[in-house]
Every structure is written in C-alpha cells, then in structure tokens.
Amino acid sequence: MNDTTDRRIIVALDFDDRGAAEALVARIGGACGFYKVGLELLTAAGPDLVRGLVDQGHEVFLDLKLFEIPNSVAGAVRAAGALGASVVSVHSMGGTGIMAAAVDAAREFPGLRVIALTVVTSMTGSDLADIGIGAGTDEQVLRLARLAAEAGCDGVVGSPREVGPLRKLLGPERLIVTPGVTLPGGEVGGHARSDTPWAAFAAGASHVVVGRSVTRAADPVAALRRIAVGR
C-alpha cells in the first residue's frame, strides 16, 4: 500500500457483483486504502470479498447498520471482527442495549471500531415525522450521537451538515464518518443532506465516504487525488 494514501477517504463499493467491485479496486490500486462494503455487495459477493480486501492491506468499513436484538448484533460484530474489518456500523435508533452489545463484542478484536448510524442521509424532517419523531434531523442526530457515546461507541455516522455540531458534542477523539459527500457538479444520489468532502473535513469529519464521485469517474484515481488535496 502506498504510504501516501489518504485513509481518511473511504470509497464505497456500491456494486451488485464481486467482479465490478474487484475491477474498481484493481484500477485504483494504491491510491485508496479504505473501502466500504455494504449490504448489497456483501449479499451479492459474500464474506470472501472482505477477506480479500483485508489480505491486500486495505481497511474495510463493513456498513451493516445492525438493528437487531443485542445477542444477534453481538454475533454479527464478532463475525465482522473475524473477517478483519476495521469498522462496523450499528443503528443508534436500536437503542443503548444494541450499541452496548456491539461495543462489548468488539473488545475481542482490538482493531475493530464500532460506529453508530444516527439519521440516514436520505431522511428529512418530514420522514422523521412519518415515523412519529417530532424532532428535526439536526436535533435527532445529536440526541442519537449522545446515546452512542454513552454506550461506548467509537464514533458515529452523520451527514456533512451535522459534522460541526457532532464534533463539538463528541470531542476530538471519536470518529465522525461522513457519507453524502460529492464533488461540485456531481450527483448527490439519494442523499438529502449532502455537501462536498472538503466542507465535511473542515467541519471536523475524521473520514468521508465517497461513492459515484470516484467509482463512476472517468479517472477514479484523479478524483481521489482531487479530494485529498482539497480542490
């Protein structure tokens, strides 16, 4: 792996087959050291893909958004640790019991960090109202982040719009992993609360998750370098 690789930048392997994902990883080469594998690719390709990425020296964010009974969440976290994942996500709306179970299970794997999804970046205040939550997205994100910190999570997932308040709440050490970032002129996809990766970093994000801006770019390596140098 290239020692100059900026591991604050996580590339989302949002593909529905293993071949396409591995082709992109090969094309990017040493320009990226951190990949996100979500439910779509994990279901399509299986856990061997994650093992393969780890064996190549990459870090893997296994974005499972776990929301189950605590025993099941703990089992899934242990499985993520056994695969060599560096980060696994749980859903903070599952409550303190789920998050604490995940944190406890991760202790068996010193290299595994648990982060809690706050409010999905596709959701708006009206979406929260639909499920009976009267708070706006900003307020709900901070409420859930506070719960995650109390449960011992290593950090949270939040949109670029909430990074500043999250950093103020969580302090300097915890991870703030920020999806919903795009380069100027790029597609925002399904994200309702998006911004540039540079805005996210400036506000205090520890990592950004980039998808189409890199994976669909004519030159993915150039797109990554553009993000890394901040323009």
CB 210, CB 11: distance < 8 Å: yes
Instruction: Determine the pLDDT at residue 131.
Output: 83
pLDDT in tens, 54-110: 999 999 999 999 999 999 999 999 999 999 999 999 999 999 999 999 999 999 999
- Judged against a pLDDT cut of 70, whether residue 189 lies above it is answered with no
Rounded distance between C-alpha atoms, residue 38 and residue 223, angstroms:
22
Span 2-15, average pLDDT = 84
Range scoring the smallest mean pLDDT among 18-27, 93-102, 182-191, 196-205: 182-191
Distances (CA, A) of 184 to 31, 192, 222: 21, 15, 15
Rounded distance between C-alpha atoms, residue 187 and residue 200, angstroms:
17
Instruction: Determine the pLDDT at residue 180.
Output: 82
65 carries an active-site annotation: yes
Rounded distance between C-alpha atoms, residue 157 and residue 185, angstroms:
24
Domain 9-229 belongs to what topology? TIM Barrel (3.20.20)
pLDDT in tens, 115-134: 999 988 777 788 888 888 88
- Per-residue pLDDT band at 231 (split at 50, 70, 90): low
Q: Please tell me which residue in 51, 65, 146, 212 is annotated as part of the active site.
A: 65
- Judged against a pLDDT cut of 70, whether residue 191 lies above it is answered with no
pLDDT in tens, 150-188: 999 999 999 888 999 999 999 999 999 999 888 876 665
pLDDT in tens, 36-47: 999 999 999 999
- Per-residue pLDDT band at 28 (split at 50, 70, 90): very high
3-class secondary structure for 101-136?
A: HHHHHHCCCCCCEEEEECCCCCCCHHHHHHCCCCCC
Could you tell me the residue ranges of all domains in the chain?
9-229
